Structure 1
Amino acid sequence: MSSKKLKIIPLGGLGEVGKNMMAYEYGEDILIVDTGMMFPDNDMLGIDYIIPDFEYVRKRKDMVRGIVFTHGHMDHIGAVSHIVEEISAPLYATPLTRGLIEGKLSEDKLLNKVDLTTIHAGDTFNVGVFKVETFHVCHSIPDTVGLGISCPEGLVVHASDYKFDPTPVDGWPTDFAKLADFSGRGVLALLADSTNADQPGWTPSEKELDTALDKIFQTSPGRIIIASFASLVSRMMQVAKAAERHGRKLAFVGYSMIQNSDMAQELGYLNISSDVLVDLNQALSMKPSDVVLMATGSQGEPYSIMGRLSRGTNRRFGLLDEDTIVLSSHTIPGNEESVYQTINRLFQRGVNVVYAPLSHIHVSGHAKQDEMKLMINLTKPKYLIPIHGELRHLKQHAILAEESGFFGENIAVVENGHIIEFQDGKMTIGERIPGGYIFVDGVRVGDIGPSVVREREALAQDGVMAISLVLNHKGQLQTDPEIASRGFLYKYDDSDIIEETRKKVINIAKSTQGDLHDQVVKSVRSFLYSKTKKRPVVLVTLNWI
């Protein structure tokens, strides 16, 4: 009986969509897979993005032997700068993923501080005690790989984002042979994507997008502006081919879109004819019906190109009456409100907007139910651990497995922080460690906690009232209280309530023998709620003279 255990520690991506990060620990060695970020919810005011709570591996940073990336989407690489600032370990990534990581590290002036190794699908390499075998999988970005991770406890297949696309844009289908090879050797556990576990059937092929693009190009009288993720290189290629078929010129707009398209062309993942690709200045000087622009902002981000266009604040160019806007991506859960607001603002500005589900302008990069069953049947694992999805997705993945004949007791549906342990071929659920959110707010990382976010929400919802008291050495008021409110009362209708509040504060100051600050806050809150049914934040300052 071995005294060592294989520990699988989900630090992000289980119980949520985004910030995917997994740690594998055996003995004195830790292997990390992916370091992603996620978008904040609409009520997380002022938060730029969220990264995993990686305190567990930070405390054991001397044990981390390497970080392997499955692909270049931000929910898998977006936290890389924050991780490498704390943990010095080699990074392993395929060429396109490496290029995207290098872009992020360069922006944060960290590129020269990391050891970054290029890997390819089909490679085998060692990371400490772990033997890692990469295999190609189809996804919505080229150069995506799954991992076979072997250690003395057995073989684990880490099937990150994937789908079984028979006609992918790059002509490179998922490696069925490798999955069958793993099955023949015996798979201890399968960790597999659950994002579309509640959607029946098969995910359509990326090729089907060509038909929708052709229809848009044929029916749009003016410019076509397509919004997508800057990392969707395959979508760039499809738009470029559509532009060529329909005699239009293509220009990329925005720093990240231009940077990623240039990098993809240099690496050979994006081949666009020089007769088709032009810069933005050229495109803006051309006849609108001869132009297609590709930009960011499909998630309604306020400072993206599309966000600024919808508000009329984009500097380089504005919208024209006959423009057609195409949102070519899936709305990430939590972004629905901002996306719909952007669509409504675009319609208000008089342009046509094409978006899913009205048009099949986006194809998911994630497997649906039948593909998930196929992955289980191909690998034949002893244990299944659904990953990448909200709890409802993970649970549905487990139900699908049981419907396929999988034993329920061999499935671990867990959320972030629940450590899964394997010893002598048996799986158990171990301790739970912190697996929550680390908020990034400007240059501050982890300094903003849930309480601050709640305070911001309260300020946004009911506003604030500020009360300033000037007291002498005996604690008596020297002047009438100064009161101001913001986001609470309309300035032309607040005089009565302000005056009543002032009188109430004066009476409290005269009668209170205890903590004047707390008494004023509590009494004013109660008074304002009785008058307005609102609960503004009440700030009281005491000035002694």
Structure 2
Amino acid sequence: MSVQIIPLGGLDEIGKNILAIKHGNEIIVIDAGLKFPNQHQPGIDFILPDISYLIKNKEKVKAIFITHGHEDHIGALPYIIPKINVPIYASKLTSDLINIKLKDAKSFPEYEINVLQPREKVGIGKFSIEFFRVCHSIPDAMGIAIRTKEGLIIHTGDFKIDHTPVDNKIIDFQALSEYASEGVLLLCSDSTYAEISGYTPSEKVVGQTLDKIITNAKSRIIVATFASQISRIQQIIDSAIKNYRQIAITGKSMLKNITMATNTKYLKTPKNAIIPIKKTNEISKNQTLILATGSQGEPTSALVKMSLHQHKDIKIEKEDTVIISASPIPGNEMLVSKTIDNLFKLGAEVHHSKTSFVHVHGHASQEELKLMLNLLKPKFFMPIHGEFRHLYSHGKLANAAGVDPSNIFLLNNGDILQIHKFQADVIDSLSQNEIFVKGNYTWQDPGNIMNERINLSKNGIVILSATVKEKPRAIVTQPIISSIGVPNLCEKNKISEMLKSNAQSYLEKYVSNEIDLDQLNIKLQSSSKNLIYKETFQRPNIALEINISK
């Protein structure tokens, strides 16, 4: 009986990680992540994977297994569980982060989440599944071993090989050795940093840099990082305590995650070390450290509000030290750069990933990827989690490590890879559309709405309105011209007057029965576009509002 591997996200992109594995009439899902928009997707909060295949095969889906608690692996759960309410399996910290996320969702159904310990086996139909510990930029990150009748499948999740992790829990080499002895049919491995030579530095190296900056700071310190970076937050807290600073938190997700991690002992925080944000104005600035959201330049985040002088409790001052302990997610570079510029303008000293060693990524570089390949020696290899160049580079590493080129599969989202013990082939491909989210509204967009938004942002819009009467035909209100985002086109300038005159002439043709209402709209649209281009060499969008008076 063959096994089918069906990536529904995470390939040829950063984020939106989700993979379905079908064995007979049973399907398990690994991860359920979202993706953040890029600069060509204006006005979007985030993007979800297309799970049409899972909805269509709803009765076959038996469980969702989550490798770790980052948004690109759990962020889509609030949108998936209401449609496919199956048990979720995750490590302890990951399950706590999922609970926070799902409980925040409004009108959410009852759901089942199970904490699975490393090496603890769970049987799901024809599958036997277990987690094994890996290192990443968040504690309790797991890889997954999936046993099927065809053979053993290993999914690494996001990982790096860190011999000195902050929580002292290294990758489980013994488990990897046992899997290799058993024989690995397919390896699905993290490709995010497959282009980077050498090894990824340890998280502890960042801690040393952060401690040096915190020790030398003369006034208030503000540190922005991902709210899920529990290991990083622990190092910041440790340094703050060592330097006799009290800690305040600003940002909803940061406050929730630190509260949860402290209550569950994933964060060790001395009693009374954390104070309310409003209390920071009552003590000396050189005795405070503020943990904030906003490392990605998110418009509503705490750090961005500070950079714009809009934060209700914190006003950036000269001699403040700001540390952005993260690197920009692709697509967020301009937002982060603007935030840094604004902080400098307000007098802060800013340390970020381009100027200080305040961040290391949580993904394996080439030597670690080769080590994983050489340890497991898979028959088939499928690089996951990355843009195409990352998948391609990882494929080359696999070939160099001895995997037959015909057994290396660089897939697209929606491809169906069918695997037997001795053969694997791509047998079909599912049509996939991204799902956009804005506020509480979601929609599939084959390109229409996004293209319209891009067009509006580039060209602006001219609005021409008038009111006419049908029986008898008459002009009720004269043409009015307004515009948004179009330079040199105001109410009373030359071009506006020309547009009004042009519109008036077509309205008079309508009144004299030379053209009907449909022709009026078509001719007015076309003539207005031509007139604007002739006078300005611009092509703004034209919106007509021809109202009918009874």
TM-score relative to the length of structure 1: 0.96
What is aligned with 1:369?
366
Letter in 2 for 1:92: Y
TM-superposed CA distance for 1:93, in Å, is 1.0
CA distance in 2, matches of 1:412, 1:526: 51
CA offset digits 1:421-463 (Å, max 9, x no partner): 1134311012111233100111111266631122222222222
CA distance in 2, matches of 1:508, 1:110: 53
Q: Please say which of residues 39-48 and 14-23 is displaced more in the overlay.
A: 39-48
CA distance in 2, matches of 1:237, 1:152: 43
Alignment of 1:57-72 (within 5 A): 57-72=54-69
CA distance in 1, matches of 2:362, 2:236: 17
CA offset digits 1:78-110 (Å, max 9, x no partner): 010100010021111111101110011111146
Percent of aligned positions that are identical: 37
Q: Is the 8 A contact 1:153 1:425 kept in 2?
A: no
1:515 to 501, 519, 524: 519
What is aligned with 1:538?
542
SS in 2 for 1:439: strand
CA distance in 2, matches of 1:480, 1:265: 67
Letter in 2 for 1:392: R
TM-superposed CA distance for 1:403, in Å, is 2.3
Letter in 2 for 1:132: I
Q: Is the 8 A contact 2:180 2:377 kept in 1?
A: yes
Alignment of 1:313-332 (within 5 A): 313-332=310-329
SS in 2 for 1:272: coil
Letter in 2 for 1:95: K
CA distance in 2, matches of 1:493, 1:541: 16
CA distance in 1, matches of 2:140, 2:211: 26
Q: Is the 8 A contact 1:70 1:145 kept in 2?
A: yes
Matched, 1:219 2:216: yes
CA distance in 2, matches of 1:466, 1:110: 40
TM-superposed CA distance for 1:111, in Å, is 6.2
What is aligned with 1:442?
439
TM-superposed CA distance for 1:281, in Å, is 2.9
SS in 1 for 2:238: helix
Alignment of 1:144-159 (within 5 A): 144-159=141-156
CA distance in 2, matches of 1:476, 1:428: 69
What is aligned with 1:100?
97
Alignment of 1:257-276 (within 5 A): 257-274=254-271, 276=273
Change (3 A) 1:479 1:446: closer
Matched, 1:483 2:481: yes
Letter in 2 for 1:241: D
Q: Is the 8 A contact 2:434 2:444 kept in 1?
A: no
Q: Is the 8 A contact 2:211 2:236 kept in 1?
A: no
What is aligned with 2:10?
13
CA distance in 2, matches of 1:47, 1:63: 32
Matched, 1:526 2:530: yes
Matched, 1:45 2:42: yes
What is aligned with 1:352?
349
Letter in 1 for 2:487: L
Letter in 2 for 1:489: P
CA RMSD after TM alignment: 1.7
Q: Is the 8 A contact 1:251 1:283 kept in 2?
A: yes
Structure 1: segments with no counterpart, 5+ residues: none
Q: Is the 8 A contact 2:151 2:421 kept in 1?
A: no
Q: Is the 8 A contact 2:482 2:491 kept in 1?
A: no
What is aligned with 1:23?
20
Letter in 1 for 2:209: A
TM-superposed CA distance for 1:385, in Å, is 0.3
CA distance in 1, matches of 2:163, 2:288: 32
TM-superposed CA distance for 1:22, in Å, is 0.6
What is aligned with 1:469?
466
CA distance in 1, matches of 2:477, 2:292: 58
Matched, 1:161 2:158: yes
What is aligned with 1:306?
303
CA distance in 2, matches of 1:448, 1:313: 34
Q: Is the 8 A contact 1:53 1:434 kept in 2?
A: no
Matched, 1:121 2:139: no
Change (3 A) 1:468 1:282: closer
Matched, 1:422 2:419: yes
Q: Is the 8 A contact 1:22 1:32 kept in 2?
A: yes
CA offset digits 1:386-410 (Å, max 9, x no partner): 0000111111111122222322111
CA distance in 1, matches of 2:126, 2:91: 21
CA distance in 2, matches of 1:423, 1:230: 42
Matched, 1:505 2:503: yes
Q: Is the 8 A contact 1:187 1:381 kept in 2?
A: yes
SS in 2 for 1:316: coil
Q: Is the 8 A contact 1:154 1:187 kept in 2?
A: yes
TM-superposed CA distance for 1:512, in Å, is 4.6
Letter in 2 for 1:503: S
SS in 1 for 2:373: helix
SS in 2 for 1:142: coil
SS in 2 for 1:301: coil
CA distance in 1, matches of 2:50, 2:373: 30
TM-superposed CA distance for 1:284, in Å, is 3.0
TM-superposed CA distance for 1:523, in Å, is 2.2
What is aligned with 2:200?
203
What is aligned with 2:386?
389
CA distance in 2, matches of 1:10, 1:389: 12
SS in 1 for 2:81: helix
Q: Is the 8 A contact 1:439 1:449 kept in 2?
A: no
CA distance in 2, matches of 1:544, 1:417: 49
SS in 2 for 1:446: strand
SS in 1 for 2:275: coil
Matched, 1:293 2:305: no
May I ask how many residue pairs the two structures share in their alignment?
542
Q: Is the 8 A contact 2:302 2:311 kept in 1?
A: yes
Q: Please say which of residues 195-204 and 116-125 is displaced more in the overlay.
A: 116-125
Letter in 2 for 1:276: A
TM-superposed CA distance for 1:278, in Å, is 2.7
TM-superposed CA distance for 1:113, in Å, is 0.8
TM-score relative to the length of structure 2: 0.95
Alignment of 1:187-202 (within 5 A): 187-202=184-199
